[in-house]
């Protein structure tokens, strides 16, 4: 392996390498621990948590596409208290950063979860704002800047010293407007992109393949969208970015870092290859070595746009 420093810093949090596993694709790590030491990862973003347990959406809730998958799992999870009691101690066995992902229906729910998780000792909290605000008629927090800012302010007020990273939705006209709103509200970092809404229909039954009709598209198909949005956001705000969306190899991760990301997350690729994050890490390191870099972090923001 080339002698390249793999360590990066994200919102003051140092990671041994820039590769994180994305929320919702790694569970709480128990299954993947059968394949390798989870301490080899830069960080683990645990499955999305809600204040109370959720059973998720009815099946079918996964549908393959030629370049990815659609999912409408519906945030199935045991609830934040169960995570703190049973899953966090397991994750803490490993030499890696633990990031908790949270979703709520009201700002108050986000605040309660941030307080619980900060006291429990997670390294970072990822705030999913692609959730419906029950007080605003089901409008997703991430689609309106004032709602995104409100959640960010509440999260920061209850997270103590734990950094708050806000996960942005790509299902907006201009993602930089939302990025600026959460930056002004005090976010420590941003993660993007979340899934893109999509739909598949069985032409024989004429019914949508997913029981909830639509779902979130992830996988290689969304990489160019993710690269574009990371680049736009990095130009608009001065916050560290965790880039994600379609990362399956080192070159994919390098694109996101060159666009402005400080670290990257691997998600859908895990379903086909549990070793994908380690391959991305090694591929990224080899690419940096070929380019004569002494640190992987030197890739961040290195894109040379034509104009």
Residue from 131, 183, 265, 270 carrying the catalytic annotation: 131
Q: What is the largest CA-CA distance in the chain?
A: 56
Q: Closest Cα partner for 86 from 20, 10, 28, 162?
A: 28
> Is the sign of the CA dihedral 121, 118, 37, 55 positive or negative?
positive
pTM, two decimals, is 0.97
DSSP 4-63: -B--EEETTEEESSSEEEPTTSSTTSTTGGGTS-GGGSSEEEPPPB-SS-B--PPSP-EE
What pLDDT sits at residue 140? 81
What pLDDT sits at residue 137? 55
Total number of residues shown for the chain: 307
Q: At which residue do the structure tokens 């008629």 appear?
A: 137
Q: What is the CA radius of gyration of the chain?
A: 18
202: number of Cβ within 10 Å: 10
Sequence-ordered strand ranges (E) for the chain: 8-10, 13-15, 19-21, 43-45, 62-65, 68-71, 97-102, 124-128, 164-167, 189-192, 196-198, 201-202, 207-208, 215-218, 241-244, 263-266
Q: At which residue do the structure tokens 């970015």 appear?
A: 241
Query: Is 261 in a helix, a strand, or coil?
Result: coil
What pLDDT sits at residue 307? 85
Q: Per the structure block, which two tokens stand in for 251?
A: 């070159």
- Per run of 10 residues, the mean pLDDT along the chain (length 307 residues) is 88 98 97 97 97 95 96 95 98 98 95 98 95 62 94 98 97 97 98 96 98 95 98 98 98 98 98 98 98 98 95
Q: Cα-flanking dihedrals φ and ψ of residue 190, to 5°?
A: -125, 145
What pLDDT sits at residue 130? 82
Question: For residues 104 and 135, is the Cβ–Cβ distance under 8 A?
Answer: no
Specify whether 131 is catalytic.
yes
What pLDDT sits at residue 167? 97
């Amino acid at each position: 392996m080339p002698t390249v420093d793999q360590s990066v810093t994200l919102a003051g949090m140092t990671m041994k390498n820039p590769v994180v596993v994305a929320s919702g694709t790694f569970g709480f790590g128990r299954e993947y621990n059968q394949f390798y030491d989870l301490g080899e990862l830069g960080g683990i973003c645990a499955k999305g948590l809600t204040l109370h347990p959720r059973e998720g959406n009815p099946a079918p809730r996964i549908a393959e596409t030629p370049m990815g998958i659609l999912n409408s799992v519906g945030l199935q999870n045991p609830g934040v208290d169960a995570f703190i009691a049973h899953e966090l101690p397991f994750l803490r066995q490993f030499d890696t950063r633990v990031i908790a992902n949270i979703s709520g229906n009201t700002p108050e729910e986000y605040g309660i979860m941030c307080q619980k998780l900060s006291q429990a000792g997670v390294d970072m909290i990822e705030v999913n704002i692609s959730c419906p605000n029950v007080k605003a008629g089901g409008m997703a927090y991430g689609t309106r800047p004032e709602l995104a800012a409100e959640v960010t302010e509440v999260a920061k007020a209850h997270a103590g010293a734990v950094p708050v990273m806000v996960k942005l939705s790509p299902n907006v006209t201009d993602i930089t407007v939302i990025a600026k709103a959460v930056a002004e509200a005090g976010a420590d970092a941003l993660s993007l992109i979340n899934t893109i809404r999509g739909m598949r229909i069985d032409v024989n039954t004429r019914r949508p393949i997913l029981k909830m009709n639509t779902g979130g598209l992830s996988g290689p198909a969304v990489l160019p969208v993710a690269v574009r949005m990371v680049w736009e956001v990095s130009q608009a705000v001065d916050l560290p970015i965790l880039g994600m969306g379609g990362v399956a190899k080192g070159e994919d991760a390098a694109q996101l870092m060159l666009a402005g990301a400080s670290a990257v997350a691997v998600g859908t690729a895990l379903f086909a290859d549990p070793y994908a994050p380690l391959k991305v890490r090694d591929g990224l390191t080899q690419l940096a070595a070929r380019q004569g870099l002494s640190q992987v972090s030197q890739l961040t923001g290195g894109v040379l746009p034509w104009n």
